Structure 1
Amino acid sequence: MPPTKKRIRSYDPARIRAAVFGQWGNLREAVRGLDDRQLALPTRLGDWTVRELIAHTGMALSAVSRLLDRPEPARQDARLLDWPFATSAGSAAIADRARLLAEQHPDLDAHLAGIERDLAARLDTHPGTRLLPTGAGALPLADYLVTRTVELVVHTDDLNAAVPGLGVPYDRQALAACVRLLADALAVRAPGGTTEVRIPPYAVVQCVEGPRHTRGTPPNVVETDPLTWVRLATGRTAWRDALAAAEVSASGERADLEPYLPLLT
């Protein structure tokens, strides 16, 4: 998908950094308490175990360091909202790498601690404007950190679904950034102003082609909670299932988002 001309929502770099490390800390605390039986549990991600999912989550954060090791691109040629549509590339290789890391690092907490130390040191020495050669194109470091909130929140939810009673908490700023980026991605995939999508308390976007709403109650409204939205946007929950479970309310002739979901594959 070519770079969008949609106005990019701004994110405070300091808050995003705090959000990334806040959610990472929540995950590390939970991982410390898992035993071998829990680490061997299946997840909803194909044939991945919990151990492999945790290793993959580490990859999501260590990716920042790996990209900083590469030569800096000459110019920015992508926008933050291009990233959600480039996430499926190399999925088989990513799965293989996660399995290998899970085998190589039996002490997952020590492995995750090393990733955290390395990234913190690098972020202290690189400005947010430093360009990274991401799969979506050349993006500033500050923008790429926003995408890490999506990875961390989504995989936190995957872990909570896989391990009964785990209950890893969600950093409020990380969840907010994740929800907003995915909501804005929907507005890119389904441009227009005839449907209002509400994800309180974090985001409201206009989308879907048709007559633009200007005042009063919108004729087409979709509303859901933050985690249900994350699951819909990433394919963890199907649109029809969310409607049937009353996890989404949708009113109006143009309130069907099924053709546009999931956003990440």
Structure 2
Amino acid sequence: MFAVGLFVVLLFVAVLITSMVLLTRKYIKRIIHEQDKFTQAKLEHQKSLLWNSVLVQEKERDRIASDLHDELISKLTVLTYALQTNNEKVKPVELLGDSIKIARRITHDLRPPMLEETTMEELVEDFILPLKNAYAINCFFSHQQHQALKTDVKLQLFRVIQEVVNNILKHAHASQIDIFLRVTNTFVALVIRDNGVGFDVAEKAKGLGLKNIEFRAQLLNARSRFKSEPNNGTTFQLLLNNRVW
């Protein structure tokens, strides 16, 4: 009887161990499967961001090419004609001045001038200055002394601000825009808020403009998000850890 009881106990222990092993293997397989799904979804998202970034860049190239052809080249063509024919109705000095302004605007769009020597505050103020006639724009800067941003970080951060503000101008129907920028030894925090019509973040998350903003935030290795509701304005938040700059 003792041998039978021992056998039953050993059999029970063996079944229990086998069950635990099978359950553990099943659990591990499920975890690996979930990780694979997450990794695949992340890769697909990265592909989508990259593709949208390419589309945005192509759109920007088309716009710059149009500016060069329709504005700059046309004015230079008229200037050349005026100089060749001595046409008194055309004023070469004015045409040349307009051409310089157009060229300066295009180069500023490509890369802000004196980027290395210019602070973020100066870049933002220069960008929003032409908008102040039509919008109530408030900027609040907090910059810890002797804390400077690297040039590439500064450029990407400035592009994010441009993208967000341009999205507000195109879609928000806002009258007020507030920009908060704080730079410390440990982080950079950016908040852009408007009083516009707002939007459903879940529905608009795949839009080209928002994808481009997210792509630039990833280039900075920063966390970003939009908080918005229909008819209740929009707030954009970005947090950048100091380890990347």
* TM, length-normalised to structure 2: 0.26
Normalized per residue, which structure has more helix?
A: 2
Normalized per residue, which structure has more strand?
A: 2
- Give 1 or 2 for the bigger CA radius of gyration: 2
